[in-house]
Amino acid sequence: MNTHTQKWIWSLGIITALLLTSNVFAESDKREGFDNQERKAKWEQKRMEMQEKLGLSEEQQQQLKAHREKFRSENKDSREQARDLKQQLKAELRKNDVNREEVMRIHNQIKALKSEADDRRLEGILEVREILTPEQFTKFQELKGEHGKKKGSYGDRMKKDHRGDTENGSHDK
């Protein structure tokens, strides 16, 4: 091949790569926004259905709303801290002269945040138990169990989401 043909092929390849990359990012941005809106709408619908099935009073609904907002706020701060720490850990591990003590310090902070999140989750469950009557809480657990069976396990969803696999190994796409 002559140099003119090689330059033309390289140029075409670069232009194609740029176009494909921009399309992928544009599609992912559209999908993320849509998915978030759709997810919020579905979540709100499920929450309303759950309230109806449990027969919650107006006071219980308000208490649960306050609980939910408090829980979200606390978890948001913790997630942001964890994200920052994970970035610090990655940066530290990329260094040529890794400081083992610093790596362990950051890792221990991440573990502490996870432990705090587990404690908050348990505290949240106990708070919900105090808001609901014993009958409502039992019904709530049953409904959550049914919802979990419909969704499948986390591992099954991740396998399907990332590889398109179903349980028998076939592809959805």
Q: Spell out the domain ranges in the chain.
A: 45-133
Q: With 0-12 CB in 10 A as exposed, 13-18 as middle and 19+ as buried, what is 106? A: buried
With bands split at pLDDT 50, 70 and 90, how would you rate the model's confidence at 38?
confident
- Mean pLDDT across the stretch 79-103? 93
Q: What is d(CA 101, CA 107) in angstroms, rounded to the nearest whole number?
A: 10
What is the 8-class DSSP label of residue 132? S
Q: What is d(CA 11, CA 5) in angstroms, rounded to the nearest whole number?
A: 10
- Contact status, residue 102 vs residue 133, Cβ threshold 8 Å: no
From 36-40, 100-104, 125-129, 168-172, the region with the lowest mean pLDDT: 168-172
The model scores a pTM over 0.85: no
Q: Quick one: how many helices (H) and strands (E) in the chain?
A: 5, 0
Please state which CATH class domain 45-133 belongs to. Answer: mainly alpha
pLDDT reported for residue 23: 45
Q: What is d(CA 121, CA 16) in angstroms, rounded to the nearest whole number?
A: 48
pLDDT reported for residue 11: 53
What is the 8-class DSSP label of residue 165? B
